[in-house]
Amino acid sequence: MSVWASWLKTMGFLENLLNRYTPRMSGKPVFAVIDTETTGFNKRYDRIIELAAVRADAYFNPVDSWHTLLNPDGKAIKNSHIHGITNDMVATAPTFNDVYGGFTSYIDGMQLFAHNAPFDSKMIVAEFDRMSGVDDDEGEDEFFPFIDTIDLAKQMLDRGPYNLPALLDRLGLDNPDAHAAVADATATVNMLHSLFGFKRGEIGRKILRQGQAFRATNTWRVSHAAPLLPREI
């Protein structure tokens, strides 16, 4: 373990101990971390079965959350062993079409984050295309420019692994409900809070200057050439 990684883990432990007795005070939400659970990895054939967003302030304190199970329109769930979601659990759940308005209203004006953003964004775009009647099965992935928290971690840490469980472990954080979308989104916010340490305010301001806020009136389709932010933090 590098000196930096060891320091981060120690600081994460100490900060968790401090927060246990002096809870963090949240401010105005400006960021939203999004996570999905799906029936698989193929945007053409697979569907989102859980969708979650956790809003955070400019210092990466969690503010509130939104989440729902989704009915995949008859698509069988064969990977329940990963996320614990079964066919029976989503049988009476709303569809993506049903929740789309509430979801986009919740994240309106936020800069969007996801851990491994290309996956979550392509699955959301695929659901949006189905809802809108767009047939783009063979096209390139095009998506609103999420901020990929893996890229953020790579800028802060000199070596991986950079998957969420590994990062949480390095920072001394827990996620007892891993692979539940709202738990993973919350864990991602907490990971960023610890990862950035005392620089979190400065980094938050840089990201706000560099980024692009999502608007509920926008399309999810943005040129594939648009970078997944951020640039150097």
Q: Provide the annotated active-site residues.
A: 179
Tokens of 140: 């390139």
How far apart CA 140 and CA 166 sit, in angstroms, is 30
At residue 49, the 3 state secondary structure works out as strand
What 131-134 contacts at long range (C-beta under 8 Å, 24+ apart), as own/partner pairs, is 131/96, 131/97, 131/100
How far apart CA 139 and CA 11 sit, in angstroms, is 45
Can you point out the beta strands (E) in 105-211?
A: 111-114, 147-148
Q: Which residue has the tokens 């992935």?
A: 141
For residue 67, how many other CB atoms are within 10 A of its CB? Answer: 20
How far, rounded to the nearest angstrom, does the alpha carbon of residue 83 sit from its chain's CA centroid?
A: 16
The DSSP code for 24 is: P
